[in-house]
Structure 1
Amino acid sequence: MGEKYGTVKILRESSTSGVFNLILNRPSVSNALSLDFFSEFPKALDALDQNPDVVVIVLSGAGNHFCGGLDLKSVAAIANNSSGDHGRTMAMGRVGLRRQLKFMQDAITAIERCRKPVIAAIQGECRGLGVDIVTACDIRYCSKDAFFSVKEVDMGITADVGTLQRLPGIVGFGNAMELSLTARRFSGEEAKELGLVSRVFGSKVELKEGVRTIAEGIGEKPPLAVVGTKAVLIRSRDVSVEQGLDYVATWNSSMLLSDDLNQAISAYTHKRKPTYAKL
């Protein structure tokens, strides 16, 4: 892909596959992420989004865990940079902290901005920042050994990078409140019951293979329809039904009459595999 990153890496599933793996890459610390992540992650996502060979992105963690949160050195660095004792120094520190938090939020929202579907494959630990990340993903699966925690309240922090905004829409307001206030650990099976993940696989190996198969299946569908479905669902989540219907009408009036549609109809009629142009 050209650019190299320290906190993440990109691997193509195979030389002909449209599935690309975006991997959190600090396995020695359970993928607890440094501040560099917030610069590197959106750059990596943008590179994947702009690459016409990429159809689906699978987001996972190197090693035995998905993400252990934000590393403690980074938490300390943010606190130290924003500290101050008096007047202007304190005010400037707070302005700087707000700017830093907005920057971090934007890095996670990059998942939703990415046109290509992003599937989270979660094994082992997923807490704090890990939950922020997966709640922004389009589809979430986990292995049986996965466990989750909205951990920020235990660290004296109000979760501020997306969990409190996205989790209620996924698991319901009451469940999100309970998980966020207790910071309790919950299993992959409970995550499935809550609706946080769509399926629990028996092992890490089964998770990898199962998600690859699902991603390849999505990758065989008409690209404009896949991109449009993601865009319309995200837009419709935040507006009224009437506004959502208006948005999809506008979208399809510009995108519906495409070669993808002709290919899909022709392939169905002649019982052959369709060939779609890259985005």
Structure 2
Amino acid sequence: MSSDPSKYDFETLKVTQTKKFVTQVELNRPNKLNAMNNVFWSEMRTCFQQLNSDSDCRVIVLSGAGRVFTAGLDLADMGKIGVKKSELDPARKAFATRENVALYQETFNLIEKCTKPVIAAIHNACIGGGIDMTSACDIRYGTQDSFFQIKEVDIGVVADVGTLQRLPKIVGNDSLVRELTYTARRFYSEEAKEMGFISRIFPDKDSMIAGAIETAELIASKSPVAVQGSKVSLVYSRDHSVREGLEHVAMWNYGLLDSQDLIKAALADSEKKTPKPSKM
């Protein structure tokens, strides 16, 4: 890991450096199907904030331990919050709920804000909050047996942690997103790939993790300032006009065009060698 591995000591996550500059973040509640409990939300925020500033990390692979990627929200654990709120009057209960939702939203916003590309490696079930989480990732891979479900209408709530905002922009099919949201039906890996939610399907979990790490290694071998600048620009441009996106990337590139990586790349090209980018 990095120079200080103790900072990645979590209860619900297992963080390891699988290859140079490649960090694997594994949801680590296999006995609970990696359901997202209260501790998970806090630890995910801390984890991605730390990874964002960790120079030993250039790419992140997000996976799940055990039989499934994630069963989504841990409803039993969430119920504990409801019990505490029951003592509040309606106005204060509304304020508390709003604060909690904002924290959950920020948890997955931090995946998107993290300048390091995040590859989601999804096997078997990816339900509810799993769609919210992986929608915030840069690249999504699945296994032959993976399936997905926007589950919230089945439990009487509106998906409020990113699916309804990000998924339509990812797949570009408003009718299909509404169908999946309103019906809560499962969609499987082939359909997920066809709609553009995942980009590759692997026979099983082991081959998928290996494939994700291989992609991560390739990305990690590139100029980190260029890769991270590209992620920032892609996220910005998604939410702004073409003109605004062009202005943003031009401002961003003012500094990048003076990077040592560009000089090294030019020299390596002239010498027919592979460039070796500098550290961040």
Output the CA distance in 2 between the equivalents of 1:203 and 1:102.
35
- 2:60 is matched with which residue: 41, 57, 60? 57
Shift of 1:83: 3.4
Q: Deviations over 1:155-182 (max 9, x none)?
A: 1110111111111101222111111111
Counterpart of 2:96 in structure 1 is 96
Counterpart of 1:41 in structure 2 is 44
Shift of 1:188: 0.8
Counterpart of 2:183 in structure 1 is 182
SS in structure 1 at match of 2:276: coil
- 1:10 is matched with which residue: 12, 15, 27? 15
Shift of 1:238: 0.5
Is 1:69 paired with 2:92?
A: no
Q: Deviations over 1:102-161 (max 9, x none)?
A: 011001100011010011000011000111100000110111111100001001110111
Q: Deviations over 1:63-95 (max 9, x none)?
A: 1211110111133123333336xxx71100110
Note the residue ranges of structure 1 that are not aligned, 5 or more in a row.
none
Q: Deviations over 1:194-220 (max 9, x none)?
A: 110011111112101111111111111
SS in structure 1 at match of 2:89: helix
Q: Specify the code of the residue in structure 2 equivalent to 1:266.
A: L
SS in structure 1 at match of 2:60: strand
Deviates most, 235-244 or 261-270 = 261-270
Is 1:143 paired with 2:147?
A: no
Q: Specify the code of the residue in structure 2 equivalent to 1:217.
A: L
Output the CA distance in 1 between the equivalents of 2:175 and 2:267.
48
Q: Specify the code of the residue in structure 1 equivalent to 2:274.
A: K
Number of equivalent positions: 274
Q: Specify the code of the residue in structure 2 equivalent to 1:194.
A: M
Identity %: 44
Output the CA distance in 1 between the equivalents of 2:210 and 2:230.
24
Counterpart of 1:31 in structure 2 is 34
Note the residue ranges of structure 2 that are not aligned, 5 or more in a row.
none
SS in structure 2 at match of 1:63: coil
Q: CA RMSD in A?
A: 1.2
Output the CA distance in 2 between the equivalents of 1:2 and 1:264.
36
Output the CA distance in 2 between the equivalents of 1:106 and 1:185.
26
Q: Specify the code of the residue in structure 2 equivalent to 1:190.
A: E
Output the CA distance in 1 between the equivalents of 2:219 and 2:160.
32
Output the CA distance in 2 between the equivalents of 1:97 and 1:63.
31
